Amino acid sequence: MPVEHRVAARGRLRARVVGVVAGRVSVPGMGQEGEGGASGRGRCVGWPALDERRGPLQASLGTLGQRLQPGMADSAQAQKLVYLVTGGCGFLGEHVVRMLLQREPRLGELRVFDRHLGPWLEELKTGPVRVTAIQGDVTEAHEVAAAVAGAHVVIHTAGLVDVFGRASPETIHEVNVQGTRNVIEACVQTGTRFLVYTSSMEVVGPNTKGHPFYRGNEDTLYEAVHRHPYPCSKALAERLVLEANGREVHGGLPLVTCALRPTGIYGEGHQIMRDFYRQGLRLGGWLFRAIPASVEHGRVYVGNVAWMHVLAARELERRAALMGGQVYFCYDGSPYKSYEDFNMEFLGPCGLQLVGARPLLPYWLLVFLAALNALLQWLLRPLVLYAPLLNPYTLAVANTTFTVSTDKAQRHFGYEPLFSWEDSRTRTILWVQAAGSSAQ
């Protein structure tokens, strides 16, 4: 039976803490380069400016245990650290959590904060590291503050990933922007100094004009103009995180932040890949090409994205002057291919075939169908949620070249991909096969 208790502060209910191994939450106790960053400072058409909607951090942290000695002093190098992963039960978050447990020797406690806790967390509680599961909502400032208090490092991956119109623009903004603001304010108030934010390639592009971003890096000039709520929210949140770098946290030391920008992530747990597989099975093993093979779409393996987060978090203190306020694309050895051809690297060995060397439907027809889907979504909204994969935004993203070629993470914090392309491919194929057969 999981231990379950509630952390009370200022008489208010805090985030639910489920399954704390030792039954307590607070274990307090514990340091620019001129590279500008590829755009991402773009415009969000029709969205509020950063300073609007700012809300005060409501939480008081007084009852949450002893106060931190902020920073990780040299003399305490061997000291065990407290990490918090927000969104730790999501596709990427779970990989970050497992990677930390496997590869972070200084890890003393791992707090996993998510709106929905996964049952798999239970199995992690038998290991040497204390794993603290916290059910909470990043939009609730007091819940975030309770979770952050006493943590040395925060990896903020929680987010609402919705480009299909399932959630309202306001909800996407609330979770991705206000949620991030809450995380930053919690760090400042509690004295937590190191924050790694999971941003997205979408912060840069593709833009609304469909300009290609071909093997670009963090310094490539690109006109970043967004209309869709998701990339708008990621761009605003990333800016908040970068601007927070250097802010004084409780205890007087500066906050050190950086943002990682994955391209399209794939690997074990990737729901859209699984959906394509099931769709192919339903169609008798066939998928039909919709996008020209010449359109390159950036992809990166989830294990390597997780590894990059772990390394960035580890190195933020030692390399604060270099890494603070910086952005890094996530990259590895995955080949440059179109979205559909890339998926076939996994779906092919699982028995599916992609029909057509060229798109079967003319592009204008796809545009028409995407617009029709958008109209149907709007018309049906009062009755039912209609959210197909094809809509004007996803079509534009899939149909616009966006690939990165960079070594900035290697230069700044020694990142090398942990998984080769062959490993990443094999692991993903095995997962698709298992996920597909469990759906039969």
Q: Which stretch binds ligand NAI (CB under 6 A): 156-164, 306-314, 344-352, 393-401?
A: 156-164
Tokens of 188: 């400042």
- Report whether 68 contacts 251 (CB < 8 A): yes
Distance (Å, whole) CA 205 – CA 200: 9
Should residue 390 be labelled a site residue for ligand LBAHXFJF when binding is judged by CB under 6 A? Answer: yes
Should residue 396 be labelled a site residue for ligand LBAHXFJF when binding is judged by CB under 6 A? Answer: no
Exactly one of 26, 39, 132, 157 binds ligand NAI (CB under 6 A); that residue is: 157
What does 394 interact with, of ligand NAI, ligand LBAHXFJF, none (CB < 5 to 8 A by kind)? ligand LBAHXFJF
Distance (Å, whole) CA 256 – CA 94: 24
Please tell me whether the peptide bond between 206 and the residue prior to it is cis, using omega within 30 degrees of 0.
Answer: yes
How far, in whole angstroms, is CA 215 from its chain's centroid? 21
The C-alpha angle with vertex 79 and arms to 74 and 80, in degrees rounded to 5, equals 140
Exactly one of 398, 418, 432, 435 binds ligand LBAHXFJF (CB under 6 A); that residue is: 398
Half-sphere exposure of 156 (CA within 13 A, CB side): 38
Residues 278-297 that bind ligand NAI (CB under 6 A): none
Q: What is the largest CA-CA distance in the chain?
A: 65
Should residue 262 be labelled a site residue for ligand NAI when binding is judged by CB under 6 A? Answer: yes
Q: Of 255 and 260, which has the nearer Cβ to ligand LBAHXFJF? A: 260
- Report whether 303 contacts 218 (CB < 8 A): no
Should residue 179 be labelled a site residue for ligand NAI when binding is judged by CB under 6 A? Answer: yes
Distances (CA, A) of 113 to 86, 87, 193, 212, 261: 5, 6, 18, 37, 21
Number of Cβ within 10 Å of residue 362's Cβ equals 9
Exactly one of 202, 238, 268, 332 binds ligand LBAHXFJF (CB under 6 A); that residue is: 202
- Residue 341 neighbours by CB under 8 Å, 6+ apart: 293, 354
Number of residues that bind ligand NAI (CB under 6 A): 25
Should residue 203 be labelled a site residue for ligand NAI when binding is judged by CB under 6 A? Answer: no
3-state SS of the chain: helix, strand, coil percent to 5?
Answer: 35, 20, 45
Q: Which stretch binds ligand LBAHXFJF (CB under 6 A): 20-28, 32-40, 69-77, 388-396?
A: 388-396
**Beta-strand (E) ranges in 278-329?**
286-288, 299-301, 326-329
- Report whether 281 contacts 353 (CB < 8 A): no
What does 92 interact with, of ligand NAI, ligand LBAHXFJF, none (CB < 5 to 8 A by kind)? ligand NAI
Count of all residues that appear for the chain in the document: 440
Q: Which of 197, 222, 230, 266 is catalytic?
A: 230
Should residue 121 be labelled a site residue for ligand NAI when binding is judged by CB under 6 A? Answer: no
Distances (CA, A) of 389 to 286, 393, 395: 17, 10, 9
Should residue 344 be labelled a site residue for ligand NAI when binding is judged by CB under 6 A? Answer: no
Should residue 229 be labelled a site residue for ligand NAI when binding is judged by CB under 6 A? Answer: no
Should residue 395 be labelled a site residue for ligand LBAHXFJF when binding is judged by CB under 6 A? Answer: yes
Q: Which stretch binds ligand NAI (CB under 6 A): 121-129, 131-139, 219-227, 415-423?
A: 131-139
- Does residue 230 carry a catalytic annotation? yes
Q: How far is the CB of 372 from ligand NAI (least distance, A)?
A: 26
Catalytic (active-site) positions? 230
Q: Which residues bind ligand LBAHXFJF (CB under 6 A)?
A: 161, 163, 200-202, 264, 272, 290-291, 339, 389-390, 394-395, 397-398
Q: Which residues bind ligand NAI (CB under 6 A)?
A: 87, 89-93, 114-116, 137-139, 157-161, 175, 179, 198, 200, 234, 262, 264-265
